[in-house]
Amino acid sequence: MSDTDETPAATVATLSALRETLGDDAVRVGEQIGERSMTDYTRHDPARPAALLLPRTTEQVSRALAICDAARQPVVPQGGMTGLAGGAIARATEIALSLDRLAGIEEIDPAAATMTVCAGTTLQSAQEAAQEAGFELALDLGARGSCQIGGTLATNAGGNRVIQSGTARDQVLGLEVVLANGTVLSSMNKMVKNNTGYDLKQLFIGSEGTLGVITRAVLRLHPRRAARHTALVALDSYDAAVRLLRMLTGRFGNDIGAFEIMWPDFFDFGVSLTANGRSPFSTAQPLYALVEHAGFDAGDSGERFASVLGDALDTQAIRDAIVAQTVADARALWAIRETTAEFPSQMDPINFDISVPIGDIGHFVDACRTALDQRWPGNRSYFFGHVGDSNLHVTVDGRSVPGVPHHDVYAFVYGMLAPYRGSISAEHGIGLLKREFMPISRSPEELAAMRSIKRALDPNGILNPGKVI
């Protein structure tokens, strides 16, 4: 494959320098670049980048970035490409830098309870390694098999266990990052307490590849929560769900590992996509909560959890509950919630990942649904979320609003957030898709401070231009 066919001369020179430094097999162009590198899970505007770099070491990432920075060549870091904000999409004039080959667990330190891991390691491999060592990595999301540690930290991903252990940010003790000019900033700290000046790592976590390329991380490990019990609960209303959340956290503290709410639109659609296509309840319910109790005592049979739900049933705090008796039962209940992975093949999803204060989510959902129905009668919209973390997901099926540009739907729903002081991105990030809506959730002063940080760390603006800020 020749670089010269359609590639600008400046890029040809840069590619030749990159080949010399990284080796031919680490620089792909044209048809050598597969579809996976052309867009992320949003399937937004696929484009073949000018080149795909596949460095194997931090040193190679550093040298590649130094070359690109000197040439003012834009670079887009790419992880598992499961992002939901378009952050990893590279345009035809940009070079994609994949972390695929910088993978592996370097160390598990049982005394410090830490894992040192390379950025290209999939979340699932890291979870499995932690388990084998008798620990738990308190990060989990549906994309676990493909998303990478680097991408997961770069987006400060949330997921199913935030209510218990916080977001990706809360799992990081140390980070190694390569800046736009190739400088390696290695803060591979293993200590819980370390107040030596600014906590630089926090700048890069959630920066979506705009401030530096994450190459390695030291992650906290937690004791294994050996007893997991899952229940699907039917509720009268959103207020009843909040009361149940507070009652359960009051009784079990942060042994409540997940509290996922599904409104009937989502639940019915999710059920229709599961293997048996049948709801675990015999009748339709106003609202569903998927609750997980995750305790440390392997001998805990879940009796106390079931009995607390039994009491809630007796006092009519809940309408019904199905407590999983086996791991297979629990998986079947979680399968309903995780059918979101099928959305792209089942519809034309217009996804929202927003935050609204917990007490206002029920009101927001009612107002949003009514407004959507008035604006686009017949729209199909699905509401669900990690309500314990104030995170609501809304998916509008683009096929149910034919001819309406996705942008109009985004603007309409984001526009409803201002009175709630909500956030346009709870956990998926800003990427390409939400950039223009930043002023809804961030003040001019906050935006100006973000731009100053970007200029300070990437003065030539080569890292992921056009994303976030």
Ligand X SMILES: Cc1cc2nc3c(=O)[nH]c(=O)nc-3n(C[C@H](O)[C@H](O)[C@H](O)COP(=O)(O)OP(=O)(O)OC[C@H]3O[C@@H](n4cnc5c(N)ncnc54)[C@H](O)[C@@H]3O)c2cc1C
Q: Are 10 and 46 in contact (CB under 8 A)?
A: no
106 — phi, psi (to 5°)?
A: -85, -35
Touching ligand X, residues 388-407 (CB under 6 A): none
Q: Are 324 and 258 in contact (CB under 8 A)?
A: no
Question: Residues 438-467 vs ligand X: string with x where CB under 6 A?
Answer: --------------------------x--x
Q: Closer CB to ligand X, residue 288 or residue 376?
A: 288
Question: Residues 338-377 vs ligand X: string with x where CB under 6 A?
Answer: --xx------------------------------------
- Quote the least distance from Cβ 153 to ligand X, whole Å: 7
Q: How many CA atoms lie within 13 A of 457 on its CB side?
A: 22
Selection from 432, 460, 450, 469 nearest residue 75 by Cα: 460
State the Cα–Cα distance between residues 69 and 458, nearest whole angstrom: 9
Q: Closer CB to ligand X, residue 213 or residue 312?
A: 213
Selection from 362, 382, 428 nearest residue 270 by Cα: 382
Selection from 145, 150, 140 nearest residue 101 by Cα: 150
Q: Closer CB to ligand X, residue 141 or residue 241?
A: 141
State the Cα–Cα distance between residues 182 and 188, nearest whole angstrom: 17
Candidates 48-56, 72-80, 189-197, 415-423: pick the segment binding ligand X (CB under 6 A). Answer: 72-80
Integer CA distances (angstroms), 233 to 92, 261, 292, 295, 414, in order: 48, 9, 11, 19, 30
Residues near 386 by beta carbon (within 8 Å), at least 6 away in sequence = 158, 159, 160, 162, 163, 258, 259, 260, 426, 427
Asked if 143 touches ligand X (CB under 6 A), the answer is yes
Which of 55, 79, 206, 385 forms a contact with ligand X (CB under 6 A)?
79
Task: List the beta bridge partners of residue 262.
Answer: 288, 384
What is the size of the binding site for ligand X (CB under 6 A)?
39
Which of 103, 115, 147, 333 forms a contact with ligand X (CB under 6 A)?
147
- Quote the least distance from Cβ 158 to ligand X, whole Å: 4
Asked if 81 touches ligand X (CB under 6 A), the answer is yes
Asked if 105 touches ligand X (CB under 6 A), the answer is no
Question: Residues 204-223 vs ligand X: string with x where CB under 6 A?
Answer: ----xx---xx---------
Q: Closer CB to ligand X, residue 225 or residue 434?
A: 434
Q: Which secondary-structure segment (H or E) carries 135?
A: strand 135-136
Asked if 158 touches ligand X (CB under 6 A), the answer is yes
State the Cα–Cα distance between residues 234 and 452, nearest whole angstrom: 48
Provide the binding-site residues for ligand X, judged by CB under 6 A: 40-41, 76-84, 87-88, 99, 119, 141-143, 147-148, 150-152, 154-155, 157-159, 208-209, 213-214, 340-341, 427-428, 431, 464, 467
